Amino acid sequence: MRDKWLLNMDLSKSRYKRNVKARRDIKRRRKRKNDNIKLSLSQKKISFGFFNHDIKNADASYTNIMNGTKHPDSILWYNRCELLWNKFKPYADKGFLTGAQKDFNARFWEMDLCIGLMQCGYKVASEDCGPDILIDTGKDRINIEAVCPEEGTGKDKVPGFMDCVDIHSTIEKQILRLTSAFNDKHDIYKNYIESNVIAKSDINIIAISGSRLPNRSYETSPSIIVKAMFPLGEETLAIDKISGKGVSKDYSFKPDITKGETKTKIDLTGFCSGKYKTISAVIYSPSDVTRNSEVLDTCITVINPYAVNKLDVDKINFGRIYYPVEKGDGFIVMKMIDRNENL
């Protein structure tokens, strides 16, 4: 038996009991609304000052969206940036637009996430000094640091679609990028606390975008961000040889990943101890400017069981959520609830 800090991952979905026909009607209405919005956005370009057409040597993604492509949705993507910027202006740092020209994906993720939270009913704010996004719940202050890791370099670079010959290796390299981004933001939060920029009682969240990671559409069980925070290896299924029925499902123990360049072992037990106790949760999304759904619908939130300041699962009303439930035998069970099922 493993040490009791090793989590028993109970990843069965929490189902909402709802009339099937009613659920289908809701989905049809929502799809029709999104289709109408998509149609209105794609007619002609609008401008609220997000893009600077005089800029030279800008980020490739910034330039491609600004100048357009042959893709039929290119105007939609352009207008999405402009409309989000029109709402995000009051919350943007002074150098936000300049930053977007140099690092489009990271700035778009911050802007898209912030407006998505606003539209979901959260009271958001932002300051030049400190975390990217602030949420006031009336009782707690929630800080969010947004980050968008790159594909990496050398032997640890996440391969593109045409270069991918081993899915398992590709997923491991994606996990390396996620853990690297997480550790960088953890250090930033540590500095915030030591400098009294944020209070020790604040709830701190790291929001990671996978938009720059090649092959990010690969599905893993559980989600790739869960595997980045817990020592979960390959999924195994025990089958009864006589009946042919599945008896149990489990995951192999994988506490680390070895980097190809330096052979350094990267820890995958981040949320299995108090090592990152100042981080209350991590949010992950593969979404980018070309998304076909609402950004929060794509988000996966993993709550840290060992956080000093716990994030209440009931305060998260979007996406999929992995949250801890303590058991009397000393184990912690991570359960999953899908808020999208209630739409």
**Residue pLDDT, tens place only, 276-325:** 999 999 999 999 999 988 999 999 999 999 999 999 999 999 999 999 98
Structure tokens at 195: 């400098």
Of how many residues is the chain composed?
343
The answer to whether the CB of 148 falls within 8 A of the CB of 200 is: no
Q: Which residues contact 109 (CB under 8 A, 6 or more apart)?
A: 146, 148, 207, 209, 211, 285, 287, 288
- Asked if the structure places residue 213 within a domain, the reply is yes
- Asked if the structure places residue 235 within a domain, the reply is yes
Above 70 in pLDDT, residue 41?
Answer: no
Structure tokens at 99: 């930053």
- Asked if the structure places residue 88 within a domain, the reply is no
pLDDT band at residue 38 using 50, 70 and 90 as cut-offs: low
SS3 state at 45: coil
Q: What's the mean per-residue pLDDT of the chain?
A: 85
Looking at the whole model, is its pTM more than 0.95? Answer: no
- Residue 342: per-residue pLDDT: 59
Above 50 in pLDDT, residue 157?
Answer: yes
- What angle (nearest 5°) sits at the alpha carbon of residue 28, between those of residues 27 and 30? 65
Above 90 in pLDDT, residue 262?
Answer: no
Above 70 in pLDDT, residue 229?
Answer: yes
Above 90 in pLDDT, residue 72?
Answer: no
- Asked if the structure places residue 62 within a domain, the reply is no
d(CA 133, CA 91): 8
Looking at the 3D structure of the chain, how many domains does it have? 1
- Residue 164: per-residue pLDDT: 63
The answer to whether the CB of 143 falls within 8 A of the CB of 202 is: yes
Answer with the residue of higher pLDDT: 275 or 24: 275
Above 70 in pLDDT, residue 31?
Answer: no
List Cβ<8 Å contacts ≥24 apart for 186-193. 186/276, 186/278, 186/279, 188/145, 189/131, 189/143, 189/145, 189/278, 189/279, 190/278, 192/130, 192/131, 192/143, 193/278
- What does the DSSP assignment read for 181-221? HHHHHHHHHHHHHHTTSS-TTSEEEEEEE-TTSTTTT---S
- The domain of 200 spans 8-39+104-342
Over residues 25-51, the mean pLDDT reads 65
- What angle (nearest 5°) sits at the alpha carbon of residue 249, between those of residues 302 and 226? 15
Over residues 177-205, the mean pLDDT reads 97
- Asked if the structure places residue 55 within a domain, the reply is no
Structure tokens at 172: 């491991």
pLDDT band at residue 159 using 50, 70 and 90 as cut-offs: confident
- Asked if the structure places residue 68 within a domain, the reply is no
Whose tokens are 């390299």? That residue is: 173
Above 90 in pLDDT, residue 134?
Answer: yes
- Asked if the structure places residue 191 within a domain, the reply is yes
Say how many C-beta atoms besides its own lie within 10 A of residue 145's C-beta: 23
- Residue 327: per-residue pLDDT: 78
Instruction: Tell me the torsion sign for CA atoms 265, 267, 268, 269.
Output: positive
Say how many C-beta atoms besides its own lie within 10 A of residue 130's C-beta: 15
Q: Which residues contact 32 (CB under 8 A, 6 or more apart)?
A: none
- Asked if the structure places residue 61 within a domain, the reply is no
